[in-house]
Amino acid sequence: AQKVTQAQTEISVVEKEDVTLDCVYETRDTTYYLFWYKQPPSGELVFLIRRNSFDEQNEISGRYSWNFQKSTSSFNFTITASQVVDSAVYFCALRPGTASKLTFGTGTRLQVTL
Amino acid sequence: DTEVTQTPKHLVMGMTNKKSLKCEQHMGHRAMYWYKQKAKKPPELMFVYSYEKLSINESVPSRFSPECPNSSLLNLHLHALQPEDSALYLCASSQVGHSYEQYFGPGTRLTVT
């Protein structure tokens, strides 16, 4: 069975603070894919990143960075110098190499205030 | 272009009504999905179409009937819904294969009265 845990239900930060969203996953598959999605109040899920299980390189895209560690089954997401526009619910998701179904975490609601 | 469009944005329907949700993508994706999302919950998969054929039905009640008329369009026909079916219905598309990311539409917010 697959499982994704996002232990942080809600996080509030002041603009320009750095914030890390945690994601821990469980799977027995050796090949799997991890994703992060952003869901602003408008409702649309916006794809942010995909990471393959065999590629442990961390990634940086502007103010966003991702830390993938297979040893701890974690795929954490850091926003540097947060902005009000970053306010949204962020979902981590897992897709095993043998399955068509995405398993989502319960999401972390990030609120960035001035 | 990574756009998936959905119509209508909002829909209010009675329990005896018949309505349809529509989804369209022009990214050349051959996998399309319907999800249901209740407030403060993650999306739940309902159906998957691959090459215009239904490949996954997550034990969804028959009052929801999906249809994929062609590779760009996906419909969800609704009939005799219950108030608990009120939710955000999201459509997504992707290339076929487990490694590919899904692109989501803005959703249809459905209220059943």
Residue-wise pLDDT tens digits, A37-50: 999 998 999 999 99
Task: Label the pairing between strands B87-94 and B31-37.
Answer: antiparallel
Return the number of CB contacts < 8 Å for A and B.
56
Residue matched to tokens 């009939």: B79
Please indicate if any CB of chain B lies within 8 Å of the CB of A30. Answer: no
Q: Verify whether the Cβ–Cβ distance B92 to A45 is below 8 Å.
A: yes
> Which helix or strand (DSSP H or E) is residue A38 part of?
strand A32-39
Q: Verify whether the Cβ–Cβ distance A44 to B101 is below 8 Å.
A: no
| Conformation bin of residue A30: beta by default, left when phi > 0, alpha when psi is -120 to 50 | alpha
**Helical residues (DSSP H) of chain A, grouped into ranges:** none
CA A105 to each of CA A8, B4, B76: distance values in angstroms, whole numbers, following the listed order = 11, 23, 25
Three-class SS state of A44: coil
CA distance B5 to A103: 23
* Amino acid in the structure at residue A86: D
Q: Verify whether the Cβ–Cβ distance A98 to B98 is below 8 Å.
A: yes
pLDDT per 10-residue tile (average), chain B, 113 residues = 88 94 96 96 96 95 97 96 96 90 95 96
Our CA-based measurement puts residue A47 at a distance from the nearest CA of chain B, in whole angstroms, of: 7
CA distance A88 to A82: 12
Q: Verify whether the Cβ–Cβ distance B98 to A100 is below 8 Å.
A: yes
Res A1 pLDDT > 90: no
pLDDT of residue B2: 63
CA distance B101 to A109: 22
